[in-house]
Amino acid sequence: MSRPLGKANEIQWREWSNETFDEAKTSKKLVLLDLSAGWCHWCHVMDQTSYSDPGIIEIINKDFIPVRVDIDERPDISERYNRGGFPTTAFLSDRGESVWGGTYIPPQDMKRIMKAVLAAKESGDIDQALERDRIQYLDLSKSLQKLPPMSSAIIDTVFEDIFATYDVQNGGFGIEPKFPQPDVIDLLLERYLETEDKELAAAIEHTLSSMTEGLYDKVEGGLFRYSVTRDWKTPHYEKMLEGNAGFLRNLVRAYFAFRKDKYAETASGIATYMIGTLQDPDSGGFFGSQDADEDYYRLSCPQRRRVKRPDVTKTIYAGWNSEAASAIMEAGVLLRDGSWVDAGKKAFRYSLDRLWNDSLGLVRHAREKELYLFEDQVSFLQSLTAMIELSTSRDLTRIGDKLIEAVDREFKDSEGGYIDVVKEENAIGELVTGRRSLITNSKWAKILALYGAATHRLELTEKAKAVMCVFTQKDVYAHGVFASSYVAAWWTLDQGAIAVEVHGLAGQDPLTVPMWLAAKEALNPRAVVLPSEDKDRTLGSADLPFAVICNAHRCSKRVTDPQELKAALRGQGPSQF
């Protein structure tokens, strides 16, 4: 039997045994079955909420025969009574017949359900009465925030816009000037990993190859900002941190989607450039850009050594620094370069040490103490969540929680969603009115859901859904290809963010653990991968490490094979729920 937490040990739990069911028969009580495990997060939540409620404890001890089963000790019982995940909460007859079951049940619903079960038993018409209660319980979801009706037609329209602007001859989107579109590539990669559609693959690969050929600096690394012409052959030569971070993200994910070395090689050049040229070696922050110099960039490597390099603009912008930190950490994890991960961590620490304000979030840059932008807070929460994935410590959740509070307090629009800047009393002109960006709000909704999965805060998913509900179908259509972020966020919220908990690391660096790496390599856009040491848990004799996949209310069975875990997260293996 797994050890109860909180006041759940005040419940008079029995073992699964003939004697227990004889007791149920003699006392004319139903059995309350709890399927649990020491590694199951939502089992712990059930212990610390519903099963620690004094009123619930009293009812259970008085009117039921409570039985707790460790699913690892008795997989046979789990196989028969599992009701969609763990914990499973089930009511059984004294013959072990399943009367009703569910997964995690919050306290207010647990009380109502138990009373309904007892009333149905008393009336003698338990089957019919319980079915009615089950319907009422399922209908509780009606009180939750619903997503706007995203029909397949809306999604199809966004993809139609993407392919209507796709340049079949040259790759990329639009005519000229031709800019990189990393969010569009992210969305196409996400869809490709689900469908393996050849048209998607062709568009992604053609675009990345054309960009590499035309905009990538093959001498010093780094990506030029854009091309003046549609064939990518006339670069505008400045190098922007934001653009390089987005391109790096695309390349690394494309490498794992298509397994072509050229993507990893170019990614290495981008990462090396970002760290070697744009990162401040002292503070760890990433500078915003390097100047354009057409004459310089036309030179060969030996020729460049004899002339002055273009200047780097040594301002560290909060949002761009955070985006770079996230991208470089992801690249380091997936391409197995710990020095890149360290560089990303150092950049994150710069933001936390130099730009963070407990009340307002992240200031735009160190020289400007009054400017707070919503987009910077979004990017910072993304990098903070990436940091949480790299550590068994959860200390950073305090910062994440404060950030969310600051965003709600300072950026929330009275009509819903969030505006782009903290309003100033003496704002001039159009700055008097905050603007609500579909793109930035969509990115906030997605990372809010992912952070909620990482920290097990269900209410953040509801908050994220409320953000998405602010925007209409007309808003989505008006953004064309730039609605990619909205569709990506909607998919995450519609399917549900998940936490992949990798247990038993015992002080190991996650980068050395195949199970953790397999979960990251799956590239599931709605998953966060959380390492755990399990210092204070009794895990039995099971092999370590192992993983479980947890959604809003339940966790899967243990997965002990890294390839099985990767397949499950890519939707190519057996369902975990």
Q: Tell me the DSSP string of 359-373.
A: TTEE-SBTTBSS--B
Contact 84, 577 (CB under 8 A): yes
Taking alpha carbons only, the member of 1, 100, 110 closest to residue 54 is 110
Evaluate the omega torsion of the peptide bond into residue 106 and state whether it is cis, within 30 degrees of 0.
no
Sign of CA dihedral 416, 417, 422, 426: negative
Evaluate the omega torsion of the peptide bond into residue 545 and state whether it is cis, within 30 degrees of 0.
yes
The tokens for 30 are 């139903």
Contact 290, 224 (CB under 8 A): no
pLDDT means over runs of 10, the chain (577 residues): 77 93 94 87 88 96 94 79 88 87 91 90 62 36 49 83 96 94 98 95 98 98 96 94 98 97 98 98 96 93 96 92 98 97 98 94 84 94 97 90 97 94 78 89 98 93 94 90 95 94 86 95 96 62 79 88 94 54
The tokens for 123 are 């009336």
How do 88-92 and 546-550 pair as beta strands?
unpaired
| Integer-rounded Cα radius of gyration of the chain | 27
Q: Helix (H, G, I), strand (E, B), or coil: what is residue 50?
A: helix
* 223 Cα distance to chain centroid: 27
* Residue 547 bridge partners (DSSP): 502, 559
Cα angle 188-193-197, degrees, rounded to a multiple of 5: 70
| N- to C-terminal Cα separation, the chain | 23
pLDDT of residue 6: 80
Give the count of beta carbons closer than 10 Å to the beta carbon of residue 12: 12
Contact 470, 453 (CB under 8 A): no
Amino acid at residue number 254: A
pLDDT in tens, 206-238: 999 999 999 999 999 999 999 999 999 999 999
Give the count of beta carbons closer than 10 Å to the beta carbon of residue 311: 10
Cα angle 151-152-156, degrees, rounded to a multiple of 5: 125
Distance CA 186, CA 519 (A): 18
Q: Helix (H, G, I), strand (E, B), or coil: what is residue 166?
A: strand
Distance CA 78, CA 243 (A): 50
Q: Helix (H, G, I), strand (E, B), or coil: what is residue 218?
A: coil
Give the count of beta carbons closer than 10 Å to the beta carbon of residue 489: 28
Number of continuous H segments (helices) and E segments (strands) in the chain: 23, 14
Distance CA 267, CA 523 (A): 16
Sign of CA dihedral 335, 341, 347, 349: positive
Burial class (CB in 10 A: 0-12, 13-18, 19+), 299: middle
The tokens for 110 are 């647990």
Taking alpha carbons only, the member of 204, 188, 194, 201 closest to residue 570 is 194
Its pTM stands at 0.84
Distance CA 423, CA 136 (A): 44
Distance CA 349, CA 353 (A): 6
pLDDT of residue 139: 30
Q: Helix (H, G, I), strand (E, B), or coil: what is residue 501?
A: strand
pLDDT of residue 96: 87
Spatial neighbors of 359 by CB under 8 A, at least 6 apart, are 406
Taking alpha carbons only, the member of 462, 448, 442 closest to residue 143 is 462
Distance CA 411, CA 435 (A): 10
Altogether, the residues listed in the chain come to a count of: 577
Contact 92, 83 (CB under 8 A): no
The tokens for 126 are 């338990």
Distance CA 336, CA 25 (A): 59
pLDDT of residue 126: 60
Distance CA 528, CA 510 (A): 13
| Alpha helical stretches, state H, 196-317 | 198-215, 241-258, 261-273, 294-297, 301-304
* 73 Cα distance to chain centroid: 32
